[in-house]
Chain A
Amino acid sequence: MNRTRKSSPCHVYFAIAVACWSIALLPTKRLLSRAPALPSPAQVQLNGAGATFPFPIYSKWFDEYHKLHPDVEINYQSIGSGGGIRQLLSGTVDFGASDGPMTDEQLKQAKVPILHFPTVLGAVVPTYNLPGIHERLNFTPEALAGIYLGTITKWNDPALTGPNPGVQLPGSDIIVVHRSDGSGTTYVWTDYLSKVSNEWRTRVGRNTSVNWPVGLGGKGNEGVSGLVQQTPSSIGYVELVYAIQNHLSYGKVKNAAGNFILASLDSVTAAAAGAARNMPDDFRVSITNAAGQNAYPISSFTWLLVPSKINDPAKRQALIQFLRWMLTDGQKFCQALAYAELPKPVVAKEMKAISRIE
């Protein structure tokens, strides 16, 4: 008896711990038991993961779509394009999303063929900090490639003064800034440089992260623009959406037709329209340096990645319905969030491609 009395505190603690534990569990249990009684239960849940660049418009779409169809709930995690592709290949999500098309090698790893659906358009713009210069600068492809290769090191290099008559460019060193985190923005930027410069293609190449010949790395759009704004005579690149929302000044870029074009939602859509004529059936196409008088050359699609075979009929139906809505009614949300809409011919082609999901 003596022993029991001595150890009773321990006993009591244990009882208290058990009691706390059950109290902690109680609300969950109650919620669970109530769940079926909640109004408009989600019958179909779709899970997706991938690109961060289109995340604002995607979450708007999934939210609006859920309001229209309360029985469909779409969850999206913006973990990055690479992560989205990996999760899709391992089958842990119903769809993926990427800022760059999947490579042939990646497509081969998939158990069922993967379909690409362009959703919106993005663009990347060169932003710079030159104290005392308020004019918008014109950049030729050669100048951008030269600056990022490290062969053009001064602001008053002929490659820069040539296209900018009347602007007094200083003789200071160019401080190059690029993204340090792997990103779709870097993919589009390096894809463009690879198209316009042979040396870039063979020495550096295109990827979400590359071996930069020169420059400082900033993390995210905010890191790059922060560095550029703080460092006199620097140049960097950011997403158009980011530049518009944060009122950054950015330069015009010479397109394939030879015109200096300022990035805007219209000039980006024009780039996609230029590419629509020779759009391949799988939509895996780069639209950087696209043809067209008004096409902004550093533009890109961003894609939803959908398996061509979905076994669960409810999920399949929900995903098909959503894709149709996204391509038609959904596009009108783009403008407000500063994303460029898809051109009509691309939408028409995608509507046909939806029937390939089975």
Chain B
Amino acid sequence: MATPPLVIDQLHAAGRGGRVRAFIERLRSGDEIAHLITLVFAASIFLLTVLLVYELYVNCALPRHKFGWGFFFSRTWDPVFENFGALPFIYGTVVTSLVALLIAVPMGVGAAIFLAELAPPHLSDALTFVIELLAAVPSVIFGVLGIFVLVPILRSQVEPFLKATLGFLPFFQGPIYGIGYLAASVVLAIMIVPFVLSISREVLLAVPREEREAALALGATRWEATWKVVVPYARAGIFGSVCLALARALGETMAVTMVIGNEPKISASLFAPGYSMAAVIANEFAEATGDLHVQALIELGLVLFVLTMIINALARLLILLTTKQGTAHP
């Protein structure tokens, strides 16, 4: 930041011939170029985000005027009579993502603790490599596996078992189809576990050795040192991994639409078929003919964008609040 005045001084001092030389000098040194290029990149990312929101907002004028805030509370999605409401899709997106987190976070963090703290290093590296491979599998593969492997197991084994044991809860009632919220959540959980795991493991490995040693020196057992010192120290990073996983779950399209059942209905039961925002956009956009239909889908895109931002903001707030409480006292 101190360069511009310096450059101007040089210009004044050097005159015409010197100005060219000063420019070449600046180019040669590379600092100016690097500064400019990185600035342009940073600005373009910000501009892209703004442009995205603007375009989404402008292109959904029709449903915004026709339905207003009612768009968020209506349960009807009727392309024939052009009556559109987002509630079942918002519900489906949120429920599947949250249930996926409920499954994936304990699993991912638990596995990360094992790999970072307890497992021998060569086993840890090998396992982490395999798990990170999972993150690179295209989502349609997960969808196909979901349809042909997971759904039959859910229909014939898991869901009847849940119904028999936990059937008194409203989440595990109603007819069993196999596909539905639960199938989508489980597929999502499998997809996001690698994110939670690999980032949490890195964060846990980055905890300073002294913290661990201090706890052990004070008489903590190995597990106490891990659970009461190392994990709280890495809390912010673990939350970060959960945020990333959640963002992926909210936006996941292909794998979800293949197993969620694609019915815009709200049911408490996890066995029931549902729908998510990303799935309905992918399903209906190509063949949507009416302007209102297309724009309602675009508005859903905007809602999804805003919802993702809100959830991310909440997660960040959570990190701020919890890290302010300080790291743990063993």
Contact of B29 with A by CB under 8 A: yes
Question: Distance (Å) between the CB of B225 and the closest chain A CB?
Answer: 44
Q: Decide if B273 touches A216 in the complex (CB within 8 Å).
A: yes
Q: Is the CB of B178 within 8 A of A7?
A: no
Q: Would you give the shortest CB distance from B179 to chain A, in whole angstroms?
A: 6
The residues of B that contact A180 with a CB separation of less than 8 Å are: 257, 262, 279, 283
| A183 to B263 Cα, complex, angstroms | 16
Instruction: Assess whether B33 is in contact with A216, with CB atoms less than 8 Å apart.
Output: no
Residues of chain B from 16 to 41 with CB closer than 8 A to chain A in the complex: 25, 28-31, 33-34
Known contacts A10-B29, A181-B283, A223-B258: A216-B177 contact under CB 8 Å? yes
Contact of B289 among A3, A79, A85, A175 (CB under 8 A): A85
- Asked whether any CB of chain B lies closer than 8 Å to the CB of A204, the reply is yes
Q: State whether A216 touches B262 (Cβ < 8 A).
A: yes
* Closest Cβ–Cβ distance, residue A149 to chain B (whole Å): 14
On whether the beta carbons of B287 and A82 are closer than 8 Å, the reply is: yes
A62 within 8 A of B: no
Contact across chains for B33 and A204 when beta carbons are under 8 A apart = no
Determine the chain A residues whose CB is within 8 A of the CB of B285 once the complex forms: 82, 182
Interfacial chain A residues near B177, Cβ < 8 Å: 175, 216, 231
> With A10-B30, A218-B262 in contact, do A183 and B273 touch (Cβ < 8 Å)?
no
Taking a contact as CB atoms closer than 8 A, the residue among B79, B81, B282 that contacts A209 in the complex is B79
Of the four ranges (under 10, 10 to 19, 20 to 34, 35 or more), the interface on chain B belongs to 35 or more
Tell yes or no: A14 within 8 A of B by CB: yes
- A255 is an interface residue with CB less than 8 A from chain B: no
- Of chain B, the residue at the smallest CB distance from A202 is B81
Query: Are the CB atoms of A82 and B286 closer together than 8 Å?
Result: yes
- Which residue on chain A has the smallest CB distance to residue B287? A182
B189-239: which have CB < 8 Å to A?
Answer: none
Digit string of B118-155 for contact with A (CB within 8 Å is 1, else 0)? Answer: 00000000000000000000000000000110011001
Q: Is the CB of B283 within 8 A of A219?
A: yes
Q: What is the size category of the interface that chain A forms with chain B?
A: 35 or more
Say whether A210 faces chain B, with CB atoms less than 8 Å apart.
yes
The smallest beta-carbon distance between B177 and chain A, in angstroms, is 6
Closest CB-CB distance, A101 to chain B, in whole Å? Answer: 11
Q: Are A219 and B258 in contact (CB under 8 A)?
A: yes
Given contacts A181-B287, A226-B147, A231-B178, contact A7 B29 (CB under 8 A): yes
Contact assessment for A219 and B257 in the assembled complex, using a CB-CB cutoff below 8 Å: yes
Docked CA distance A231–B156 (Å): 11
Which residues 38-82 of B sit at the A interface, judged by CB distance below 8 A? 76-81
B-contacting residues, A173-230, CB 8 Å = 173, 175, 180-184, 204-212, 215-219, 223, 226-227, 230
Q: Are the C-beta atoms of B286 and A80 separated by less than 8 Å?
A: yes
Contact between chains at B28 and A217 (CB < 8 Å): no
B178 touches A208 (CB 8 A): no
Nearest-Cβ distance from residue B59 to partner chain A, whole angstroms: 13
**A181-B284 in contact (CB<8A):** yes
Is B288 at the interface (CB under 8 A from chain A)?
yes
Interface assignment of B261: CB less than 8 Å from any CB of chain A: yes
Does B289 contact A81, Cβ atoms closer than 8 Å?
Answer: yes
Q: Is A324 an interface residue (CB 8 A)?
A: no
Contact status A217-B261, CB under 8 Å: yes
Q: Is A106 an interface residue (CB 8 A)?
A: yes
- B32: shortest Cβ distance to chain A, in Å? 11
A85 and B262 CA atoms in complex are apart in Å by: 25
Q: Does the CB pair B286–A83 fall under 8 Å? A: yes
Q: What residues of chain B lie closer than 8 Å to A355, measured between beta carbons?
A: none
The answer to whether B287 and A81 touch across the interface, beta carbons within 8 angstroms, is yes
A86 to B293, CA, bound (A): 13
Let me know if B175 is at the binding interface, CB within 8 A.
yes
Q: Decide: A182 and B151 in contact? CB cutoff 8 A.
A: no
Of the residues B77, B258, B282, contact of A211 by C-beta under 8 Å? B77
Contacts of B175 in A (CB 8 A): 173
Q: Beta-carbon contacts of A104-135 to B below 8 Å, as 1s and 0s?
A: 00100000000000000000000000000000
Whether the Cβ atoms of B287 and A211 lie closer than 8 Å is: no
Inter-chain contact A206/B80, CB cutoff 8 Å: yes
A182 and B286 contact, Cβ closer than 8 Å, known pairs A217-B263, A219-B258: yes
- Cα of A215 to Cα of B180 in the assembled complex, Å: 12
Q: Which B residues between 268 and 293 are near A, CB-CB below 8 angstroms?
A: 273, 275, 279, 282-289
Q: How far is the CA of A226 from the CA of B275 in the complex (A)?
A: 18
CA–CA, A219 and B68, complex, Å: 30
A14 and B79 within 8 A (CB) = no
Q: Which of B33, B34, B289 contacts A208 (CB 8 A)?
A: B289
Which residues in chain A, 127-175, are within 8 Å of chain B measured between CB atoms? 173, 175
Residues of B within 8 A of A100 (CB): 289
Does A11 belong to the interface (CB within 8 Å)? Answer: yes
Counting chain B CB atoms within 10 Å of each CB, which of A184, A205, A208 scores highest? Answer: A208
Expressed in whole angstroms, the Cα–Cα distance for A183 and B79 within the complex equals 13
Which residues of A have CB within 8 Å of B283? Answer: 180-182, 209, 217, 219
Q: How far is the CA of A204 from the CA of B79 in the complex (A)?
A: 9
How far, in Å, is B118 (CB) from chain A's closest CB? 41
Chain B neighbourhood of A231, CB < 8 A: 155, 177-178
Q: Is the CB of B78 within 8 A of A182?
A: no
Quick check: B258 and A7 within 8 Å, CB to CB? no
Known: A181-B284, A205-B81, A219-B283. 17 other contacts (CB 8 A): A7-B29, A10-B29, A82-B286, A82-B288, A83-B286, A86-B294, A181-B287, A182-B79, A182-B285, A208-B288, A209-B287, A211-B78, A216-B261, A218-B262, A230-B151, A231-B155, A231-B178
Q: List 5 A-B contacts (CB under 8 A).
A: A4-B28, A211-B264, A217-B283, A219-B258, A231-B178
Ordered nearest first, which 8 A-B pairs have the shortest CB separation?
A217-B262, A182-B287, A10-B30, A80-B286, A180-B262, A205-B80, A211-B78, A208-B287
Which residues of B approach A to under 8 Å, CB–CB?
25, 28-31, 33-34, 76-81, 147-148, 151-152, 155, 175, 177-179, 257-258, 261-264, 273, 275, 279, 282-289, 294
